[in-house]
Every structure is written in structure tokens, then in C-alpha cells.
Amino acid sequence: LRTVHVALIHWPVLDRARNEVCTNVTNFDIHDIARACRTYGVEKYFIVNRMKEQLMFVSRVIEHWRVGWGSKYNPMRKTALDMVSGYETLEDVLKQYDEKPYIVTTSARDRGLQRHSFKDLRREIFETEGPPILLVFGTGFGLSDSVFEQAQALLDPIKGASHDDYRHLSVRSAVSICLDRLLGS
């Protein structure tokens, strides 16, 4: 089984007007994505935000549940948050690896990049050997082009069954669905 990690990008992402911006970390994204990762055997969840105060917020939340009062109140949460760490840039995340990971981005829209179907990536995860796979998710109005340029592939968009092809999921939902399609039993 290939190693799979998750990165949540707050910078650089797009805003409504397609400007590059840095979004704020939300508490739910820390907890819910960590628990989804824990459930599917993803051992590392990187939160990328270039704002120091935002990374400090991430550390405070983690510390509360890891060693503070929260660790006694809800020990299960501690086992999920152990995998969370904050970095200023995607480049900083990549420096953590001995072997460059295979970066797979996600988007609800088409981006004119090499697509990877869920089926193919799942087969690669289960049947091939190689570098870790880093699944990259966006916030705001989605990942900026500079993130797609650093990636080797783009995962097919998650499509449901809405009559008008609506598919703009919250990032927490998108992570859970992707992990289930790629790693679910």
C-alpha cells in the first residue's frame, strides 16, 4: 500500500474575483479532516498557511487536545490530531520528504491538466510501489494555478447526481469522499 498524505492549502488560493489570497484556518477543518485521515490510515495532514498567527492558532488547537485539558476530556481526539502539522508554504511541506511525493491536486472544475480517475489512482495506491502520494485540497474558491503547476496530476472532480451537475463541496466533504473512494474498504 502506498503512503497517502493530505495537504490543505490556505495560500495561495483564489477568491471570488480569482485573485490570489490567503484564507483563514477554520476549527472544523482541523478536526474533521484529521479524523477522516485517521479513519482512512492517512498518517500526515499538513495545513498550509503563510500567516504566522494562523499557524499559531493551529498549534494552539493541537496542543489543547494533545496535552492540555482536552487530552483528558476526549483522548480519541488526541489520536487523530497527532498527525496534524502547520507549514507556511507547500515548498516547506515538500522539504519534509526524503523522496519527492507524487502530488495530486483536486478541483471541482476542469483545469486542462492531466486527469487521474479515482479508479486509476486507487489501483496505483494498492498495487504499485513508489513515492508517497500527497493529495492537495483548496479553500476559498479553489487552488491557485501555481499550485496546479507544482503537481503531477489532477484528480477527476467528484460528481454526484444533481440535475444541473452542481458539485461545489465543502473541503471537508471533498476530503472524506476522496479518501473513501481511494482507500475505503
Contact positions toward ligand SAM, by CB under 6 A?
A: 106-108, 137-143, 157-158, 167-171, 174
Contacts of residue 25, Cβ cutoff 8 Å, sequence gap at least 6: 10, 47, 49, 54, 57, 58
> Which of 12/77 has CB closer to ligand SAM?
12
Q: Which residue from 28, 19, 93, 30 is spatially nearest to 56, judged by alpha carbons?
A: 30
CB of 3 to ligand SAM, least distance (A): 20
> Which of 52/168 has CB closer to ligand SAM?
168
Q: Which residue from 138, 157, 149 is spatially nearest to 12, judged by alpha carbons?
A: 138
CB of 156 to ligand SAM, least distance (A): 8
> Which of 81/135 has CB closer to ligand SAM?
135
Give the number of residues written for the chain.
185
> Which of 86/138 has CB closer to ligand SAM?
138
CB of 132 to ligand SAM, least distance (A): 18
SS3 15: coil
Scanning the structure block, which residue is given the C-alpha cell 487536545? 65
> Which of 76/161 has CB closer to ligand SAM?
161
Residue nearest to ligand SAM (CB): 138
CB of 48 to ligand SAM, least distance (A): 12
Sign of CA dihedral 51, 143, 176, 87: negative
Alpha carbon separation from 30 to 19, 80, 134, 172 (Å, rounded): 25, 10, 17, 9
Q: How many CB atoms lie within 10 A of CB 162?
A: 8
